[in-house]
Structure 1
Amino acid sequence: MTITFRKLTEEDAAAFRKVRLEALEKYPDSFLVTKEQQESMTEEQQRQRFRNHQQGQFIAGAFSGDELVGMMGVMQEMREKIKHKAALVAVYMSEKYQGAGIAGKLLDYSIQQAKKIGGIEQLQLAVATDNDPAINLYKRKGFQVYGTEKNALKSDGRYIDEHLMVLFL
């Protein structure tokens, strides 16, 4: 199985939508967006979002052949005093590809692409405190927990705590 990595473009909108809906269905507590919010966005609206990505923003994809199997977004802050930071967002790996080391390679790719942007000194992320596989991956790649936000998300009446993690580039 050959896996390739690249930044997504507007031509990937349909594939992105499919994988994003899969992620939101299987792990609704892991994302800020709900499945219903994503479903309400048309493919053309998603294409427009890709067209409007500014410098310092991208979604990286992992592909098995032509199939998008994983994704990871990097969003640089735009305000002057915090432009040295970027957030790692919308991280997901299709279930049949989990545990194969692909997420780590996608993370490596995303970090390298973030470094090419220039000016980004740290990557930050928030991850549910009970998501041990993700936390372990981030720690292996050098991320450190710098805080824990209690009740960070509320989903179906339940609260989810999140670790706040950072990687200094």
Structure 2
Amino acid sequence: MWIRKLQVEDAESYWRLRLDALRRYPQAFGADYEDAKHTPIEEVRGRIADGTDNFILGAFADTGAIVGMVGFRREPYRKMRHKGMVWGMYVDPASQGQGAGRRLMEELMARAREMPGLEHIGLYVVDTNRSAKSLYLSLGFVTYGVERNAMKLDEGTYVHEELMVRFLERRSPNELT
């Protein structure tokens, strides 16, 4: 398995994996499968080609098939450029438990550390997703809050999300780690 930044040529395979994630786990993503499935592939290509402050990483099996993904977005506004956000983390169920998620996150954090002025990375995780929370905690993320009723699914079920952060530099003892 290897990890690399997605290229425009990966758009179709990435988008199939993304739609699979939205369909299988609607409670885990803010985007909705029914809305996303109508997205033109040209728009997806544009997202992939978005630049250095925003990127999508893919985990690829030895066969060359994409089996995992994670996105990163740096805040665009001057007062907020010290922050970045993880989004869209997903590993295909058949590839889970093989280290793809950890490797994706480690590569994301390595790339983030190279960005001048970036101080911390945030993410949201559904409070019932124990495996994802365990991964993020093991990578040094800490929970700083919970957003109750963060999402409302079609059937009227609410999903709560934990807000997590990972500082890239050593902070004072009074700050989150």
TM exceeds 0.5?
yes
Among 106, 109, 126, the alignment partner of 1:108 is: 106
Among 118, 121, 127, the alignment partner of 2:119 is: 121
SS in 2 for 1:120: coil
Q: Indicate the percent of aligned positions where both proteins have the same amino acid.
A: 37
Among 57, 62, 66, the alignment partner of 2:59 is: 62
CA offsets, 1:11-36, max 9 Å, x none? 11001111001101110111111112
The aligned counterpart of 1:167 is 166
Matched, 1:22 2:30: no
Equivalence map 1:81-96=2 (5 Å): 81-96=79-94
SS in 1 for 2:114: helix
Q: Structure 2-normalised TM-score?
A: 0.91
Task: After superposing the two structures, state which structure 1 stretch, 98-107 or 88-97, moved more.
Answer: 98-107
Q: Distance in 2 between matches of 1:48 and 1:103?
A: 24
Moved over 4 A (4+): none
Question: Mind listing any 5+ residue stretches in structure 1 that lack a counterpart?
Answer: none
What is the alpha-carbon root mean square deviation over aligned residues?
1.0
When the two structures are aligned, how many residues end up with a matched partner? 166
CA offsets, 1:56-112, max 9 Å, x none? 100011001311100001100011111100000000000011111221111101100
Matched, 1:139 2:137: yes
Q: Structure 1-normalised TM-score?
A: 0.95
- Could you tell me how far 1:151 is from its partner in structure 2? 0.6
Q: Distance in 2 between matches of 1:21 and 1:84?
A: 31
